[in-house]
């Protein structure tokens, strides 16, 4: 049997259960006390049970009332969530344009999260969706239209509906925890005595090794823990003797906080990869795109 109980009746009942007084509940709800009393009586009639003990000093819920209060609050919460999900645009609540940003986690965190203010200055209705995508999956995701904007280390194979511009370079280097036995300078042989945090991804079918650009192939290294993001790898490195070959952009904050140390390996040249800003040409207007390029280059130290 379905009970004909309204959300209004449940709201009155939960307010009454908290206020413990008909008059106090009426004041909160901006109703007459007689109206609140009628709602309680009507609820009891519908349920066929008394819900509260009445006295000159107020009301107290009985066992049935306590049970109803818990159910009523849950229903009201779910109703509010449902209403939020289907809220129509108004002057006070305008429709939002969702801009999806996809890419490497350290780039999203270090560069693109800070660029949202620039984009909002051009369009206040923008809302952003950030997706962390494995490096070797970004182009394929772009082709499928999974996102509208990204920063990546490759300018090749992007659809011709995208605009691509180089904004700077990303540098990879070897990092250890501060106070690591290797210090700040080491040989490749000394480095290879320690395990490395290895980049690993799940593609939905199997685990895949990433390329961290280290001069020592993964097959020749001692494998330590495995992580799919530079930030997680940095967390592991700073709390263990494991090493990480990581993008400087993603860990520079840990270096400044003296939690990570960059190790110079004499036999290794600096690994530098170009960074490209890629946007859907029909989604990002040229003026906004140019402002983004200037902002991102400034963040990378390029004037």
CATH number reported for the structural domain that contains residue 220 in this entry: 3.40.190.10
CA 295 vs CA 38, 98, 115, 155, 301: distances in Å? 63, 21, 7, 20, 10
Q: Which two tokens stand for residue 250?
A: 């993603």
Domain hosting residue 26, numbered range = 7-85
| 91 is a domain residue | no
Helices (H), the chain: 7-19, 22-29, 33-47, 63-85, 105-107, 116-122, 138-143, 188-191, 230-238, 248-256, 286-299
Cβ atoms 153, 275 nearer than 8 A: yes
* Statement to judge: residues 176 and 265 lie in one domain: yes
Dihedral angle, C-alpha 43, 47, 53, 54, nearest 10 °: 30
* Statement to judge: residues 160 and 176 lie in one domain: no
Render pLDDT for 17-65 as a digit per residue (tens, 0 to 9). Answer: 888 888 888 888 888 888 888 988 988 888 888 988 888 778 888 888 8
Would you say the C-alpha torsion 143, 146, 147, 152 has a positive or negative sign? negative
* Statement to judge: residues 157 and 33 lie in one domain: no
Q: Which two tokens stand for residue 21?
A: 């007084």
Instruction: Examine the fold and report which residue of 63, 85, 107 is the final residue of a domain before the chain moves on.
Output: 85
| 123 is a domain residue | yes
| 76 is a domain residue | yes
Instruction: Measure CA 130 to chain center.
Output: 7
Cβ atoms 25, 19 nearer than 8 A: yes
Render pLDDT for 75-106 as a digit per residue (tens, 0 to 9). Answer: 888 877 666 665 555 555 555 688 899 988 88
Cβ atoms 101, 133 nearer than 8 A: no
- Predicted pLDDT of residue 91: 53
Render pLDDT for 175-221 as a digit per residue (tens, 0 to 9). Answer: 999 999 999 999 999 999 999 999 998 877 888 888 899 999 999 99
* Statement to judge: residues 134 and 188 lie in one domain: no
* Statement to judge: residues 111 and 178 lie in one domain: no
């Amino acid at each position: 049997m379905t009970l004909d109980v309204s959300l209004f009746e449940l709201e009155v009942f939960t307010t009454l259960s908290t206020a413990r007084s008909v008059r106090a509940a009426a004041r909160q709800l901006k109703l007459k006390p007689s109206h609140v009393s009628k709602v309680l009586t009507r609820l009891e009639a519908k349920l066929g049970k008394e819900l509260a003990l009445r006295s000159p000093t107020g009301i107290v819920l009985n066992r049935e009332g306590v049970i109803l209060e818990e159910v009523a609050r849950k229903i009201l919460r779910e109703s509010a969530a449902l209403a939020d999900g289907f809220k129509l645009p108004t002057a006070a609540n305008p429709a939002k344009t969702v801009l999806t940003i996809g890419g490497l986690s350290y780039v999203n965190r270090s560069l693109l999260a800070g660029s949202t203010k620039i984009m909002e200055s051009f369009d206040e209705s923008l809302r952003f969706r950030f997706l962390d995508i494995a490096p070797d999956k970004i182009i394929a995701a772009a082709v499928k239209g999974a996102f509208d904007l990204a920063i990546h280390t490759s300018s090749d194979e992007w659809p011709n509906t995208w605009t691509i511009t180089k904004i700077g370079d990303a540098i990879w280097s070897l990092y250890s925890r501060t106070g690591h036995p290797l210090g700040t300078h080491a040989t490749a042989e000394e480095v290879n005595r320690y395990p490395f945090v290895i980049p690993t991804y799940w593609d939905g079918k199997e685990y895949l090794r990433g390329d961290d650009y280290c001069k020592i192939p993964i097959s020749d290294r001692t494998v330590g823990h495995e992580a799919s993001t530079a930030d997680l790898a940095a967390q592991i490195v700073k709390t263990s003797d494991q090493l990480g070959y990581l993008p400087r952009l993603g860990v520079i904050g840990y270096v400044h906080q003296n939690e990570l140390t960059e190790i110079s390996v004499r036999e290794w040249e600096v690994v530098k990869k170009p960074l490209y800003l890629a946007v859907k040409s029909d989604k990002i207007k040229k003026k906004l795109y140019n402002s983004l390029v200037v902002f991102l280059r400034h963040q990378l130290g390029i004037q």
